[in-house]
Chain A
Amino acid sequence: MDAIETTCVYCGCGCGLYLHVENNRIIAVTPSMKPPASGRLCAKGWLLHGFVNHPERLREPLIRRGDRHVQTSWSEALSFIASSFAEIKRDYGPDALAVLTSAKATNEENYLLMKLCRAALGSNNIDNVARLCHAPTLFALGSSLGSGSMTNPIESLLYSDVIMITGSNTTEQHPAVALHIMEARRNGARIIVMDPRRTQMAEIADLHLQMRPGTDIALLNAILNIVIQEGMIDEEFIRSRTEGFDDIRDRLAEYTPEVVERICDVPAELIRDAAVMYGGAEAAAIVYAMGITQHAHGTDNVQAIVNLALATGNLGRDGSGIYPLRGHQNVQGACDMGALPDYYTGYQRVSEFREKFEDAWNVELPVSRGRSAIEIMSSAGSDIRGLYISGENPALSYPDSSRIREALESLDLLVVSDIFPTETTRMADVILPVASFAEKYGTVTSTERKVQLIRKAIDPPGSALPEWVVAARLLEIFGVSSDYNSSADVMREIAALTPSYGGISHERLERGGIHWPCPTQEHPGTPVLYRDGFLRGRAVFRHVDQRSLDDERFTLIIGRSQYHFHTGSMTRRVSILERELPEAFVDMNPKDAAALGIRNGTGLILESERGTIRARARLSDGVREGILFMPFHFRESPANLLTKWQLDQFSKIPALKMVSVSIRREDA
């Protein structure tokens, strides 16, 4: 019997937990008493022992022979990958190669894959799943405040008087954050929820603004307009620490509660109450997630939040702040490690810092502009010929699945590393079996910029390897320096090249997580950003306008459920979680259902301009009339067959959150 403290693999909360191990198997999980979990876990966390030792784990490298995958050795798989990539590079140039890294991989692994892409393959075509979740956050928070990340730690919510939650089903998707919000509420904080769905958080909130989906900007602008009219802005803060306020002040005037009531279908009085509540708070926080970002106007949505927080001076203090909630264990870290087309580690721009990395790695680095994830997919088979996907399942998670499948099929070489066979590994030319979070050492960075250790609890199955070892061996084949004996060695290189991680080492993290920026060994880390000013000098307001919406009969909102994670490759193999939710559902208002003769459990056909799927109706008055909700976990009802490649102009995030659909009964 052993117990190993590590960090949960699912969402970005970064809950600490102990894996209880017997005979190289995880037999139980208990929470760590340290923040942010502080002795609590969600059902997925408690049941983490369910998938790691599953017999379907990938155990040996597989290579395509005709329409079958056959077992091969690591050395053959890796030399095949290297020679195939080299061939493509020779025939089409380095820009024909691309890497998509994993938000489930460690910082060290993301760093080495980034190094592989840039230094060995010679391409800036590198991206990660953040492109599909918080690219707008990176852009809007980055350009306005200086850093595209959560401004305050989760615990800081305990000091908030008012917490505004928008586009986040917090209890189900970020339970540790919900835990703190609930505790703040018990101590007197007031809660405003803005969401088209009546979530559990909406049930316990003081105010629930159940707006039409896609009208966030109108609503946030109206709130800011009222705050200005009521004289609740922080003029001193605006004057001393921001710029551009006057430009937006006048343009907000048209967003009166009465006008916005018609756009959002939320009573003007309720909008006023929310504005006065938020504006009147000593310390107010705004919490948001995919409901804000996954739109073709995602960056504008985030900017509307930034404007509101800036105008009320709700930044740089305990209890205030902007909380973009990250959906993966290490999606923050994947971005921090430069798994982005335009940045090296720590958001050092390729255009500015190329020489620094050329010197460090002793290679010439590419200058050409890198492509983002969806751009990589859209040029697959033409400009992009070879792709390495680490631990992601775009065949199910990316928009417009049929197009993604075509894209993946048209590649000359597709390499996929994962812990389980997925819809994406099925299309791969080479499948690499890698170690799960419980089978390797490394660091991950949670939603609150907290770098924490994951520790090895058991051995990987078969000959599966930690991905940092895979990446290091590929680097070696390409002749790039890769002299690492452990992932701690990799972190030393990261720290040397990355100012915000400068003081971070595995040795220090043994004593607990550290919030970046942490520039030196002596630096305690920075839980709250912007206490003494903004990284870019003055924070910037930018006016954003509400876009017009399609006026369709049904708008389908797509998200996650409480009991599954993403494409279900892990949670659908946990028997209890699969029992809780064995198939997709479509939440539908009972009035809509009655009009169409649909009952609880009726099979529905959903059709968009991109595709058609089937799922059962689940009647719920938690969704408004005309609104449907379904999760995207299920390959049997793949919601992303319906979504489109409609990109946000700034951040290139696709509009994954909602799509217009028509529905009919299956038997009709």
Chain B
Amino acid sequence: MMFFLEKKDLPELLRRAGAFFEIIAPVPINGEPQLVSWKGGDLALSSPNPLMPPTRLFLPPRETLFAYLQESGLYTFEVPEVGNRLIVGVRPCDLQALSMLDRIMLSDPADELYSKRRRSTAIIALNCTEPSDSCFCAQMGAGPEADEGFDLLLTDLGERYLLETGSPAGIMLANLSEELLERGDDAEKRRLMRESRERIMSARPWLSQDRMRSRLREIDWRSLSKECISCGGCSFVCPTCHCFTIADLGLPDGERIRCADSCILSGFHRMASGANPKARPEERLLSWYMEKLEHMLIRTGMPGCVGCGRCDRVCFSGLHRTDIFR
């Protein structure tokens, strides 16, 4: 179903949804868009995509899997509770990343916390009418338009949004604000999305998944990585990165935590003997791109790069630019 929603009415629609969900949305904090609990203030839906990908709301960079408490030699365990959430403004690239993560985290045996969070979260996606310079989702087949994986989908038409439903939950959410909605059509949206796609494609007409894959073995990773400081930033903001490590902190009481790990760090690859097959940064960089462009594709049928451009935005030495594949 398609509706028009006046921009001024979006907060009211969210407020009504707030009766059932904690609303998480991009909000300007000291001038920068951040994904936080929305409490009725300004939204940052027309700002660039926040650096922290929404996929990290399902697999946080640091989370407690359970707390353990010891009493008279007996252990009891406390598992964190997961509440209902509605994430607003998820971009098509991140939506595709999420559906790729689903194929990994929910395949047997499913990750319990991830699947709990996934089941209790609704998503209002936002089509990208104003792509950033670093975006190349169109070349990766991940945007700028979402076609599945959302409960509701917004497209910014200027004065108003086009609101589309994508699931039974989405229809119920729309019904809560029925009188704010007006039957709509997607003519304007189709024009805007065509323009947006053309803008993204024309910024890098030479770029494609095939192009990237074929260039992987030709790039001089060694000279490229001379300035890499192995900060791991690219992997910490990548919406499809999902490697983690687990640690038990504290004795006799404490907690088992899981935190995001990074194959850009050398120790990630070190074996128990001390030998390290990927001791050099160029080996790790190549392996990161191989994982994104080839291995994830084989495992999930979807490429591990969705063209969000975050790795480029945080790269210390500016090496994660698409130009290297030119």
Contact = CB atoms under 8 A, between A and B. Distances in A.
Contacts of A580: 265-267
B231 A575 contact: no
A200 B226 CA distance: 8
Contacts of A601: 274
Contact of B62 (A5, A27, A171, A562): A27
A31 B51 CA distance: 8
A581 B231 CA distance: 14
Nearest to A575: B247
A22 interface: yes
Contacts of A30: 34, 50-52, 237
A512 B60 CA distance: 29
Interface stretch (A50-58, A138-146, A293-301, A659-667): A50-58
Interface in A487-541: none
Interface in B50-101: 50-52, 56-57, 60-64, 80
A42 B229 contact: yes
B73 to A, nearest CB: 20
A25 B61 CA distance: 12
A363 interface: no
A438 interface: no
Contact of B61 (A1, A4, A33, A49): A49
Interface string A573-584: 101100111000
Contacts of B226: 200, 203-204
B146 to A, nearest CB: 22
Given A2-B37, A55-B250, A575-B259, A28 B245 contact: no
Contacts of A32: 30, 32
Interface residues of B, number: 53
B255 interface: yes
A580 B237 CA distance: 20
Interface string B8-47: 0000000000000010100001111011110000000000
Interface string A20-57: 10110111111111100001111101110110011110
A478 B296 CA distance: 65
Given A39-B314, A55-B249, A601-B274, A172 B259 contact: no
Contacts of B80: 23
Contacts of B24: 1
Contacts of B155: none
Nearest to B254: A55
Interface string B253-264: 111010111100
A3 interface: yes
A54 B257 CA distance: 10
Interface residues of A, number: 52
Most buried by B among A1, A50, A575: A1
A477 interface: no
A40 B315 contact: yes
A171 B34 contact: no
A54 B249 contact: yes
A139 to B, nearest CB: 32
A615 B245 CA distance: 27
A119 interface: no
A26 B52 CA distance: 13
B232 interface: yes
B221 interface: no
Given A39-B51, A39-B313, A579 B267 contact: yes
Contacts of A26: 62
Contacts, number: 135
Contact of A33 (B32, B63, B260): B32
B60 A28 contact: yes
Given A28-B60, A46-B232, A55-B250, A581 B227 contact: no
A5 B267 contact: no
A273 to B, nearest CB: 21
A90 interface: no
Contacts of A33: 32
Given A27-B63, A28-B60, A204-B227, A5 B315 contact: no
Given A5-B29, A43-B265, A49-B259, A175 B56 contact: no
A18 interface: yes
Contacts of B265: 43, 576, 580
Interface stretch (A68-76, A122-130, A178-186, A413-421): A178-186
Nearest to B56: A28
B133 to A, nearest CB: 13
Nearest to B63: A27
Contact of A56 (B56, B250, B316, B317): B250
Contact of A41 (B230, B231, B260, B268): B231
Interface in B214-253: 226-227, 229-233, 236-237, 245, 247, 249-250, 253
Contacts of A40: 231, 233, 314-316
Contacts of A2: 36-37
A3 B29 contact: yes
A188 to B, nearest CB: 15
A594 B203 CA distance: 55
A573 B62 CA distance: 14
B229 A576 contact: no
B62 A50 contact: yes
Nearest to A23: B80
B109 to A, nearest CB: 23
Interface string A310-330: 000000000000000000000
B277 interface: no
A531 to B, nearest CB: 29
Given A30-B237, A31-B51, A41-B231, A18 B32 contact: yes
Contact of A28 (B52, B266, B313): B52
Contacts of B184: none
Contacts of B254: 55
B61 A18 contact: no
Interface in B247-299: 247, 249-250, 253-255, 257, 259-262, 265-268, 274
Contacts of B247: 575
B231 A43 contact: yes
B318 interface: yes
A581 B51 contact: no
Nearest to B250: A55
B62 A18 contact: no
Contacts of B317: 182
Nearest to A6: B30
B269 to A, nearest CB: 11
Contacts of B236: 46
Contacts of A55: 249-250, 253-255
A171 B229 contact: yes
A458 to B, nearest CB: 13
Contacts of A31: 51, 233, 314
Contact of B64 (A20, A25, A562, A579): A25
A562 B313 CA distance: 22
Contacts of B31: 34
A356 B32 CA distance: 43
Nearest to B30: A5
Interface of A: 1-5, 18, 20, 22-23, 25-34, 39-43, 45-47, 49-50, 53-56, 171-172, 175, 178-179, 182-183, 186, 200, 203-204, 562, 573, 575-576, 579-581, 601
20 contacts: A1-B35, A3-B34, A3-B36, A5-B30, A25-B64, A28-B52, A39-B313, A41-B231, A42-B231, A42-B316, A43-B229, A43-B231, A49-B62, A49-B259, A50-B62, A53-B62, A56-B249, A178-B229, A182-B316, A182-B317
Interface of B: 22, 24, 29-32, 34-37, 50-52, 56-57, 60-64, 80, 226-227, 229-233, 236-237, 245, 247, 249-250, 253-255, 257, 259-262, 265-268, 274, 313-318
Given A40-B233, A178-B316, A576-B259, 9 more contacts: A25-B62, A26-B62, A27-B61, A27-B63, A29-B61, A31-B233, A50-B62, A175-B231, A576-B245
In the A-B complex, list the 4 residue pairs whose CB atoms are closest, starting with the nearest.
A55-B250, A3-B34, A575-B247, A580-B267
